[in-house]
Structure 1
Amino acid sequence: MHTPRLLIPAALAATTALLFTGCVDNTGGAAPESDAPASTIEVDGAAAALLPDEIKEAGVLVVGTDAAYPPNEYKDADGNPIGWDVDLVDALGAKLGLEVQYEIASFDKIIPSITGGTMDLGMSSFTDNAERQKQVDFVDYYEAGILWAAPAGETVDPDDACGLKVAVQATTYEHTDELPAKNQACLDAGKPAIDIVPFDTQDAAANAVVLGQADAMSADSPVTLYAISQTDGKLEAAGEIFDSAPYGFPVQKGSELAAAVQAAMQSLVDDGTYEEILAEWGVEDGGVDTIEINAGS
């Protein structure tokens, strides 16, 4: 994971966002009304039987999230996690007969907390890839692509961004993989480097583009589309969605928890709860029919 280097301090970005209409704020948003609340979901006994003994006995699933990536996972006005990922994990907990306990942490602290045993599962739109699989196992549950956004009326080509400032959330796939590869291609071609500008939160990255402090932003497709919808026409998509890859819930490497989560999530797919949750948030295009483990590459 990379240490973030900020164009402007995150606190200043959040303050500045309050001074401009059409800026992104990842707190205070209202969640859609759900037709399938976790309280109505019946326990799947076969999935629950697969749980590690210590989690089964505790009756609690400790879930780490940065809650800063709307609409996937973010905070309501009271600071509580909401989003379609949260609805899925609430349903997952209900299927396993577990209370879900959310621990809000910075994105780059979640996988180390899982490997260290202080968190059971991560829920922060993690892209499952081979590098991360060296540390944790992933239960894959969604397909997301990458989508760029730029100021309305500006032409930005994600395949030719040499010399541009591009904002991202620190330690996301876009920060650690996508943009470094694009930057290297620019350098190899003798073109100006891409100025990769990481921020602590996704709303700060989007605000940097709105405020003219970056030329574009790159994020997962549902996140970019949400950011565009929140900026009163100040942002628009730059190009098409590309490089689809699975989102996965990371769990400790070799843990029995992976099989339990896989079985419970598949049960949610099979009974229709999964599709209902995605549809409530308008993100059903990335839904999958089969829940797999470590399907990323």
Structure 2
Amino acid sequence: MTAGITRRTTAKSAQTRITAISALAVAGALLLAGCGDQTNSADEGDSNESSSAPLAGKLPASIRSEGVIKVGSDIAYAPVEFKDESGKTVGFDPDLAAAMGEKLGVEFKFENGTFDNLIGGLRSKRYDIAMSAMTDTKDRQEGVDSETGKKVGTGVDFVDYFSAGVSIYTNKGKTQGIKTWSDLCGKKIVVQRGTVSHDLAKAESKKCGGKKIAIESFDNDQQAQTRLRSGGADAGSSDFPVAAYAVKTSGGGKDFELVGEQVEAAPYGIAVAKGNEELRDALVAALDAVIKDKTYEKIIKKWGVQAGAVTAATVNGGK
């Protein structure tokens, strides 16, 4: 404060000055008390923010400031991720991502893409992560084409969150004796392009001798199901949760049936570009947190996929 003060020497002036000083002291005390309350309120606000998103500080600063994790996903793989009748993205993956987002203080925003282009979308930074029932394999970790064995990219890191095998299904009542992959020799199978089912079909066909497996691949699993339903193939294959869901729901349970046992059980992983360890490790922490507080358990029960539950996050657990 820069205003000047005039010194007064009379008794009346002195008394006036004492009264003024006392008033200023009281006002100052009230002001300090008010400031103290404001400091406490600010601290409480920070504390509340921290408790509502306890793992926010683990994220890269760029993602934390945007408040969004961009998720590449093939949203046509019920019950893992798919569009409901209103067009909303639903399923096991979106529910799990939302729960993890609460721990991290960000929104997981799903963007639809073709499955076999999702890892490329990570390389081009179109997506921050890929979460799409993607099986964690060594080839994907190392950027190797599973058919040719050639290096095609830098690879990705996976945060494993589920375990699933691969199943075969047929039109109901038309199994044609199919129980194993070797029974498919000389027959036609429909699959989603770029999946483990696609890889297994190609590998099995090489063992068939003169009766190769005719393989028809599609951009998404729903297209493959439609082809099989119309009689355009002898069998279809997809991950067990997806095949089981199709058997249960398609045509009210009258269209398809599972045949044989699921094979090649392996982890689903959230894919993160190599070199993005900070984001990867934040996802690990968030997944472990929702497993620990039982949110994970509630989600897998909701979607009927308890058989694939994991007890902790794992990085690059695929073989």
Q: TM-score band, normalised by the shorter chain?
A: 0.7 to 0.9
- Report whether the alignment pairs 1:253 with 2:274: yes
Q: List gaps (5 residues or longer) in structure 2.
A: 1-50, 143-154
**Is the 8 Å Cα contact of residues 60 and 100 (structure 1) preserved in structure 2?**
yes
**Is the 8 Å Cα contact of residues 146 and 218 (structure 1) preserved in structure 2?**
yes
Which amino acid counterpart does residue 232 of structure 2 have in structure 1?
Q
Q: Secondary structure at the match of 2:206?
A: helix
Please report how far the alpha carbon of residue 137 of structure 1 lies from its aligned counterpart in structure 2 after TM superposition: 0.7
Partner in structure 2 of residue 111 of structure 1 = 119
Cα distance in 1 for residues equivalent to 2:85 and 2:299: 21
**Is the 8 Å Cα contact of residues 44 and 267 (structure 1) preserved in structure 2?**
no
Cα distance in 2 for residues equivalent to 1:210 and 1:113: 32
**For each residue in 1:99-130, what CA deviation from the matched residue of structure 2 results, as whole angstroms up to 9, or x when unmatched?**
22221111122211112112111111100001
2:257 aligned to which of 232, 236, 247:
236
Partner in structure 1 of residue 305 of structure 2 = 283
Between the aligned residues of both structures, percent identity stands at: 39
Which amino acid counterpart does residue 139 of structure 1 have in structure 2?
V
Partner in structure 2 of residue 266 of structure 1 = 288
Cα distance in 2 for residues equivalent to 1:43 and 1:114: 29
Q: Secondary structure at the match of 1:185?
A: coil
Partner in structure 2 of residue 141 of structure 1 = 161
Moved more, 195-204 or 221-230: 195-204
Which amino acid counterpart does residue 264 of structure 2 have in structure 1?
D
Please report how far the alpha carbon of residue 44 of structure 1 lies from its aligned counterpart in structure 2 after TM superposition: 4.9
- Report whether the alignment pairs 1:216 with 2:235: yes
Q: Secondary structure at the match of 2:181?
A: coil
1:168 aligned to which of 178, 191, 210:
191
Q: Secondary structure at the match of 2:241?
A: helix
**Is the 8 Å Cα contact of residues 151 and 210 (structure 1) preserved in structure 2?**
yes
Which amino acid counterpart does residue 136 of structure 1 have in structure 2?
V
Q: Relative contact order, CA 8 A, sep 6+: which one is greater? A: 1
- Report whether the alignment pairs 1:150 with 2:170: yes
Tell me the TM-score normalised to structure 2 length. 0.76
Q: Secondary structure at the match of 1:102?
A: strand
**Is the 8 Å Cα contact of residues 140 and 292 (structure 1) preserved in structure 2?**
yes
**For each residue in 1:265-286, what CA deviation from the matched residue of structure 2 results, as whole angstroms up to 9, or x when unmatched?**
0110011000100001110110
**Is the 8 Å Cα contact of residues 44 and 264 (structure 1) preserved in structure 2?**
no
**Is the 8 Å Cα contact of residues 68 and 202 (structure 1) preserved in structure 2?**
yes
Cα distance in 2 for residues equivalent to 1:224 and 1:140: 21
Q: Secondary structure at the match of 2:185?
A: coil
Cα distance in 2 for residues equivalent to 1:44 and 1:252: 24
Which amino acid counterpart does residue 294 of structure 1 have in structure 2?
N
1:65 aligned to which of 57, 70, 73:
73
**Is the 8 Å Cα contact of residues 115 and 220 (structure 2) preserved in structure 1?**
no
Cα distance in 2 for residues equivalent to 1:230 and 1:203: 12
Cα distance in 2 for residues equivalent to 1:125 and 1:278: 14
Q: Secondary structure at the match of 1:254?
A: coil
Closer, same or farther in 2 for the Cα pair 1:235/1:48, shift >3 Å? same
Please report how far the alpha carbon of residue 242 of structure 1 lies from its aligned counterpart in structure 2 after TM superposition: 1.4
Cα distance in 1 for residues equivalent to 2:254 and 2:85: 24
Q: Secondary structure at the match of 2:281?
A: helix
- Report whether the alignment pairs 1:203 with 2:203: no
Q: List gaps (5 residues or longer) in structure 1.
A: 1-41
Partner in structure 2 of residue 49 of structure 1 = 57
Cα distance in 2 for residues equivalent to 1:244 and 1:44: 34
Tell me the TM-score normalised to structure 1 length. 0.81
Cα distance in 2 for residues equivalent to 1:54 and 1:259: 15
**Is the 8 Å Cα contact of residues 247 and 256 (structure 2) preserved in structure 1?**
yes
Cα distance in 2 for residues equivalent to 1:99 and 1:210: 37
